[in-house]
Structure 1
Amino acid sequence: MAGEFLTIKEAASALGVSTRHARRLADAGSLSRVARGLIDRTSVDRYIQSQRQGRTRTWAEHTAWGAVALLSGLDADWLGVVQASRLRSTLRVITDVDDLLTRMRDRARVRTYDAHRAALPRLRDQIASTNLRLLGITDAVDESVDGYLAATDLDDTARSLGLRADAGGSVFLRTTGFAFDRVRDLVATTPAAALDAATSTDPRLRGVGRRTLAELLEAYR
């Protein structure tokens, strides 16, 4: 594969799946859309790699957010004692960033929308966004809106703000069913910022995110 971007048809061919299945993967956030009909090549490569890791399973939402907490030096008190202990042990032996990204993939589902400019300030007030300054990024990477929202609030938010589902839109909502009061606190941490950055379509941001995750894993051992 050449170039940074692939069409949906090219992505499907690379994955050995139907075009419809490739679109479903993009809708679920497993592949990263760059614009209407275009997929980030890196996300395709990453997905292929994750599928090759036969023993690697994605964590359930509450477990994935538990990992964010532990990597932040916080307690994941919603996990049972045994589960928390197992999660700590697993984090200590993960050495590959792609392995971590695969496990964390289901912490939220990414939905893409288009929105009127006037709706964006209200939307930013309702979502929880990661803090890129924690990664040393002080300038805006682009003009998109990217943040977390409780899954139960998605329909009302989209309706009240006139959001329109659009694969080429600049609004990225990461919906999760995990307790959103906890999510708001965890989104404000360095691991959460690094996870989002590591799957960005911006090469510079993606590199910073991956390096930060590697450092976090090393420090946790």
Structure 2
Amino acid sequence: MGMAVADVARDLGVTDRRVRSLIKAGALPAEKVGGVYVLSERDVDAFARRYRPKHVRAMSPRIAWAAAALGDGVRPTWLRADELSRLRARLSSEAAPTGAWRAQLAAAGARARFRAGPAQVDALLDSPHTVRTGASATNVVGDRLTGAPGADVWVANADVAIELTRGLGLLRSSAGNVTISVPGADVDRISADGRNAFRLIVARDLMLEDDPRARAAGEDLILHVEQEAWWRVSRRPAQ
């Protein structure tokens, strides 16, 4: 029996967009019938066995940050040589669906929301102690999200977060327009370029947002990193 794109997306736990990308990449066989893609159950089952982990286990924070660093071509010096070798082997294996990467990166750190005015938002984004992520780093994905002024940033540790919130007078609020995140593990750096967090971390934060545009931008970014970076990781000699 033939399956529609929406049926495949539901079974694999990914979006329709992701299924179409897999089809175009040749990872999922499909044929067009009446202008729409139709896939066989056998091909979908075979794909699921190869690409979908039986149990998606979240990475620890330090491993999640290392995976994000490797995706941006940065060597995670906080890992031991044996840990780095195992992580490279894991990343160079068959790419997991986007949903799996979101789950694996869920342990990347802790997030807290605050209420802030426009001047406070500007000061937070301009601070040398923050790197932008989520919608605040949408220049990474080439799609500026619109809406109420806000900020989504990472800082090096909890002490920096406390100093910033106190210094700027930010008020804790579950519905706040500012999110400050902390890695949850000691890492040498939290960004590739000093301004934006590693792209997988940016994507992870976008996919945690309520805005469907943000979630779509996050998925696009994960797809881009998968296509651009994993082949490089698999071909780089162990160090």
User: By the TM > 0.5 criterion, same fold?
Assistant: yes
Instruction: Give 2:99's aligned residue.
Output: 98
Instruction: Give 2:170's aligned residue.
Output: 163
Secondary structure of 2:180 counterpart:
strand
> Is 1:213 aligned to 2:234, yes or no?
no
1:146 Cα deviation (Å)?
Answer: 0.8
Q: What count of residue pairs does the alignment treat as equivalent?
A: 169
Native 8 Å contact 1:113 1:167 kept in 2 = yes
Given candidates 129, 132, 144, the residue that maps to 2:132 is: 129
Native 8 Å contact 2:113 2:180 kept in 1 = yes
Give distance in 1, aligned partners of 2:202 and 2:190.
Answer: 12
Give distance in 1, aligned partners of 2:143 and 2:96.
Answer: 25
TM-score w.r.t. the length of structure 1 is: 0.67
> Is 1:204 aligned to 2:220, yes or no?
no
Give distance in 2, aligned partners of 1:134 and 1:184.
Answer: 12
Give distance in 1, aligned partners of 2:197 and 2:160.
Answer: 20
Greater share of residues in helix = 1
Distance 1:162 1:58, change over 3 A: same
CA deviations over 1:155-214 (Å, ceiling 9, x no partner): 222222211111111111112244465114364443333222222222122112113213
Instruction: Give 1:81's aligned residue.
Output: 81
Q: Which ranges of structure 2 fall in alignment gaps of 5 or more residues?
A: 1-52, 232-239
Give distance in 2, aligned partners of 1:120 and 1:197.
Answer: 18
Q: Which moved more, 1:125-134 or 1:167-176?
A: 125-134
Give distance in 2, aligned partners of 1:111 and 1:152.
Answer: 14
Instruction: Give 1:109's aligned residue.
Output: 110
Task: Calculate the aligned-residue CA RMSD, in Å.
Answer: 2.4
1:94 Cα deviation (Å)?
Answer: 3.7
Letter in 2 for 1:112: R
Letter in 1 for 2:172: A
Distance 1:215 1:123, change over 3 A: closer
Instruction: Give 1:118's aligned residue.
Output: 119
Native 8 Å contact 2:78 2:187 kept in 1 = no
Given candidates 135, 153, 161, the residue that maps to 1:147 is: 153
Q: Which ranges of structure 1 fall in alignment gaps of 5 or more residues?
A: 1-52
State how 1:15-94 maps to structure 2 within 5 Å.
55-91=55-91, 92-94=93-95
